[in-house]
Amino acid sequence: MSDRKNAFKISKAEQDAYIDGVTKMIADGSYQTLVSIHADMSHNMHTMPGPKLTESRRRFLSWHRAYLIHMEAELQKKNTDAFVPYWKWADGGVPDWLKGFMPKVGSVENKRNNSISSVAPQQRIDDLLVLTDYDTFTSELESNPHNAGHVALGYPMRSVPVAPSDPIFWMHHGEVDRVWSLWQAKNPGKKPILTGTDAIMDPWSDTVDSLDDISKLGYKYV
């Protein structure tokens, strides 16, 4: 793990390390393996109508935190200098250095919309951070900017089964995770209420409690 930095402010060497790590993951199939995990909706990692609606909503942030951690670990096996930058929505659209990196992953062609403007203004983030109820906060964050960002970016980001094929996926979720970490700092002790298998972020062994504090997970947002 390492510091996660704003994608708009990282150095050329840091940009190259991310691109190099992802490219090598695609080449050896480890990237496709991660994409396939996101295609399996039995993980209940997004708000899904049905008998597990509440649990799936509460799993969204913890599950994707685990997903980012496991992605970053694989990334750093390929390039030790690489890390997952966060795409700070309020700072603009797709970072310039990423616009030309639209790799094909398996049979998935990247047709990203590089012309989008900011996914969310700072005011939207500020409004989210004044919410004090976890369920309300995660529902609002997942809906907008998370879902809105996926849709705005076009294919493959708008399609859940293949969304991680686009390397901006991890940066988008880095920002989701960063905003959650800011909310956690303002609301200590508040976390998703999950029990039994719902509290385990399958297919990994990470639990809702083990994922609660990023300082204990070995990274921070700078």
- 162/155 Cα distance (integer angstroms): 9
Domains and CATH numbers, the chain: 12-217 (1.10.1280.10)
Which residue, 77, 70, 102, is CA-closest to 173? 70
List pLDDT tens digits, range 9-64.
999 999 999 999 999 999 999 999 999 999 999 999 999 888 899 999 999 999 99
pTM score > 0.95 for this model?
yes
H-type helices in the chain, by residue range? 12-28, 30-39, 53-78, 96-99, 122-129, 134-141, 148-152, 168-186, 214-217
SS3 of 63-95: the string is HHHHHHHHHHHHHHHHCCCCCCCECCHHHCCCC
Task: Give 222: exposed, middle or buried? Use CB within 10 Å, 0-12, 13-18, 19+.
Answer: exposed
Q: Per-residue pLDDT for the chain (222 aa), expressed as one digit of tens each?
A: 579 999 999 999 999 999 999 999 999 999 999 999 999 999 999 998 888 999 999 999 999 999 999 999 999 999 999 999 999 999 999 999 999 999 999 999 999 999 999 999 999 999 999 999 999 999 999 999 999 999 999 999 999 999 999 999 999 999 999 999 999 999 999 999 999 999 999 999 999 999 999 999 999 999
